[in-house]
Amino acid sequence: MTIEQIMRTSPVIPVLVIDDAATAQPLAEALVAGGLRVLEVTLRTPAALDAIAAMKRVPGAIVGAGTVVSHEQFEQAMRAGAEFIVSPGLTEALAEPIIASDVPFLPGVATAGDLMRGYALGLRHFKFFPAETSGGVKALKSLAAPFYEARFCPTGGITAEKAAEYLALPAVLCVGGSWLVDADHGVVEQRARAAAALARG
């Protein structure tokens, strides 16, 4: 799959911080059952790589690694079975080997300079991060005008209520959110169903 196909799979990508790998598969099952197949496991905990491997066992799940900030983490994520890579920022040192590998890649950007760096690398799909503290919907709308080819997944501070505002922008293919998972799995599945039903602009 290309990064655009992954971004178009569902309107919300759950951003997951997994402290116990034993919880990963049931959580993935609840999210996928609710209609959210694309799952981003952030490399913020010692359990993250095992969680990626566990979630990959769930039929229909498309599992990626987030918070990738080094080439070493990229290689670790690939060994764990990650199908796409998300980083909080964009540097040539990180981006170039990922681009060369043909692994779907979603780097973080917050400014016009970030986007110009991405364009120079041939990238057109980005995570707008941290979305809310970088100016929110208004800032992204302003950036999307000159960078009209770019497509975005805003992430950072987005709530269920805010998600619809971002998704109304034509340049936004999906949003990243962590609001889905701070509950038991039955509630997670209900929230996932509501998120999967959100309309895009």
Catalytic site positions: 40, 127
The answer for residues whose C-beta is within 8 angstroms of residue 120's C-beta and 6 or more apart is none
With contact defined as beta carbons under 8 Å apart, do 129 and 156 qualify?
A: yes
Residue 2: both structure tokens together: 């290309």
* 3 state SS of 136: helix
Provide the strand spans (E) within 19-174: 38-42, 62-66, 85-86, 105-106, 108-109, 125-128, 151-152
